[in-house]
Amino acid sequence: MQLRYSFRVYPTTGQRAALARAFGCARVVYNDALRVREEARAAGLPFPRVGDLSKVLITGAKKTPERAWLGGVSAVVLQQSLRDLEAAYRSFFDGLKGKRPRMGVPRFKSRKDTRQAVRFTANARWRITSGGKLSLPKIGDLAVKWSRILPSDPSTVTVVKDSAGRYFASFVIETDPAADLALMPDTDTVVGIDLGLAHFAVLSDGTKIDSPRFLRRAEKKLKRAQQALARKAKGSKNREKARSKVARAHAQVADVRREFHHRLSTWLIRDNQAIGVEDLAVKALARTRMAKSVHDAGWSRFTVMLEYKAARYGRRFVRIGRFEPTSQVCSHCGVKDGPKPLYVRMWTCGGCGAVLDRDVNAAVNVAKAAGLAVSACGAQVRRAPVPAPRGEAGTHPKRPTQPVREQAGIPGL
């Protein structure tokens, strides 16, 4: 399995200028190739191949006075820019054929784009020095903040400048399946997960993980930064500084949310052999009044993490259909009571009389729909008081019933 490891890099002033030249040259070659292909399409001619574009737009252009400055960067960066355009066209046409979700037509890149990236392959002869620095051709040795050890030798490295002005080195790593399987302990536990807003995740064993709401907690800071940006004159340096502050504030929220998703997904994969989740209609929910909370939760990114980590570590990941009535069916007797409004968090089954927690019951049903052998005893359920027969009415003292979790000695959350 191929994975991507990203590390923060800290270029010097001269190295930032060299990276800016690399970003600009890659963008110019990309736009030139896109223009040539669009002209060929308008004329009814076949698309030029990457090799032909490379001869004209890179090798030939370097010999002209107008494009002589392309020789100031590594040729591999320019070649990879053409490969990126080829991949963009391939994704667009595959979307039209139904082989993948629809993608937009490739567009021209702008020098005003706040995110820039260049990629170096092994042909560029980049390397990691003995001192732990990243040596790139015609750029220099970049200082890298190594947060973990690379499991194997990387094949490519991509240098990215994000909207907040930070630089990252992203490595593509080929992992060893046998080594990955040895990292995880043996377990036979299975779990179903019900994702929500009040609680980010509720497990079929009754565990509830609170929603951190990172965006909601940072709203005041983001509001002040956005107001400061709105006061600056367009095109001024102060406006660019204010824009960077807004981008850094948003990047901080995204970073802590990603860290939360990684920690939670790793914990679930480590402690469970099989995991079942529900395929939520995130795009539809994002068009409701709960849109900000839905985006703040980041369910899609979390489930993607669960999926690729399960594939990496030999766990089973099952995604059930979004139309499964997980909140309408009793996890004990299977009776369907119909839809319920969102404010109903506890409900009584009309078939067996069990009082069910809505979220825990849904998590158990998710696990059952995924084909996982999950017992409903972990759910917060209890028997509702059942009227005694007429002949026995008033003959026994009333005894308060206890939830099943308390009878089993399971501590509450």
Query: In the predicted model, is pLDDT for residue 282 greater than 90?
Result: no
> 365: part of which helix (H) or strand (E)?
helix 358-369
* Residues 188-197: b if buried by 16+ CB within 10 A, e if exposed: eebbbbbbbe
Confidence class for position 126, pLDDT limits 50, 70, 90? very high
SS3 category, 15: helix
Confidence class for position 393, pLDDT limits 50, 70, 90? very low
Q: What is the pLDDT of residues 233-243, one digit of tens each?
A: 998 999 999 99
Torsion (CA) 79, 80, 84, 90 in degrees, nearest 10: 70
pLDDT at residue 382 in the model: 43
Percentage of residues in the chain having pLDDT higher than 90: 59
Q: What is the pLDDT of residues 57-73, one digit of tens each?
A: 999 999 999 999 999 99
> 20: part of which helix (H) or strand (E)?
helix 13-42
What are the residue numbers of the active site? 194, 278, 359
Residue type, 21: R
- 397 DSSP 8-state letter: -
Cα separation, 1 vs 9, in Å, equals 25
- Residue 44, exposed/middle/buried by CB under 10 A (0-12, 13-18, 19+)? exposed
Backbone angles phi, psi at 231, to 5 degrees: -85, -15
SS3 category, 254: helix
pLDDT at residue 133 in the model: 95
Q: What is the pLDDT of residues 198-236, one digit of tens each?
A: 899 999 888 999 999 999 999 999 999 999 999 999 989
- Residue 130, exposed/middle/buried by CB under 10 A (0-12, 13-18, 19+)? exposed
For 15-30, what is the mean pLDDT? 96
- 46 DSSP 8-state letter: P
| Strand 190-195 to 274-278 pairing | parallel
Cα separation, 252 vs 214, in Å, equals 9
